[in-house]
Amino acid sequence: MTAPSKPVLVADIGGTNARFALADVDASVPLLDDTSREFAVVDFGSLGEAARYYLDQIGVQATQGVFAVAGRVDGDEARITNHPWVISRSRTASMLGFSSLHLINDFAAQAMAISLLRPQDVVQVGGASWRPAPIDQPRNYGVIGPGTGLGVGGLIIRNGRCFPLETEGGHVSFPPGTPEEIRILEILSEQFGRVSNERLICGPGLVNIHRALSEIAGIDPGPLQPKDITARAAAGDPRSSRTIDLFCAIFGAIAGDMVLMQGAWDGVFLTGGLVP
């Protein structure tokens, strides 16, 4: 690895994993793929500790950083929605010796990345084949992705400028569309009270759907992880297969609602750790 003269530390901080890499802002392709590393957030007491560990491991001292975090950024502070970290921009910058550090919402970062995508970076799901539009053409895009939670964002392009929409749309109330989904909502309401879309469309949400289907069938499935459900579905288990079918149907309905709410007429990008 040849380190850039002015390396920038970039990070994607979720509820489960923290991913770090270096970027060279003067390069035609800024991200240095061979510097990418992933760590479990539970192994560190703070974001600063995780970033310091990464820099020590890679042997480079960056002086600037841009961190995308899975939660709302409010001034100097960001809270990870599905993890207890509370991140102070100023304290983290001081700990790392950075001259500048920016915190942004993770789905605002994903929305901005739309402008960098090439056709070969995208797998088409329905509709006409997607092609990047010239930056001077107006466009409205949505982006949604399940992982530890459910992220939602958008991108508006006007007059050659990109405007990301930072949202917490994953916490919108879940609207059931079938009698089966109504029963699932009733079961989850007994546990959670208010049920948001994120209670169903994320890794833990897969378990919630399966548990509700098991209760409807009068069966105790025992403790399960999302990977157990996908493995059972692949092996032909009917209840696990139905769980996957419902997950995809609800995910699609939520994405469709997002198009209507955001006016994302030019396309929705499905991202997140569960999509592949």
**What percent helix, strand, coil does the chain show, rounded to 5?**
40, 25, 35
Angle at 64 between CA 55 and CA 82, to 5 degrees: 70
Instruction: Give per-residue pLDDT as tens, 136-146.
Output: 889 999 999 99
The overall pTM is greater than 0.95 = no
User: pLDDT tens across 144-165, in order?
Assistant: 999 889 999 999 999 989 999 9
| Model confidence pLDDT, tens digit, residues 10-40 | 999 988 899 999 998 887 778 888 999 999 9
Q: For strands 139-146 and 268-270, give the pairing.
A: parallel
Residue 2: pLDDT band (50, 70, 90) is: low
Q: Mean pLDDT score of the chain, rounded to an integer?
A: 91
Interval 74-84: pLDDT, tens? 889 998 877 88
What's the CATH architecture for 129-276?
A: 3-Layer(aba) Sandwich (3.40)
Chain region(s) in the chain for CATH 3.30.420.40: 8-110
Residue 246: pLDDT over 70: yes
Interior CA angle at 134 toward 157 and 136, to 5°?
Answer: 50
pLDDT, tens digit, for every residue of 210-239? Answer: 999 999 999 998 899 999 999 999 999 999
**Level-2 CATH architecture, domain 8-110:** 2-Layer Sandwich (3.30)
Q: Where in the chain is the domain with CATH 3.40.367.20?
A: 129-276
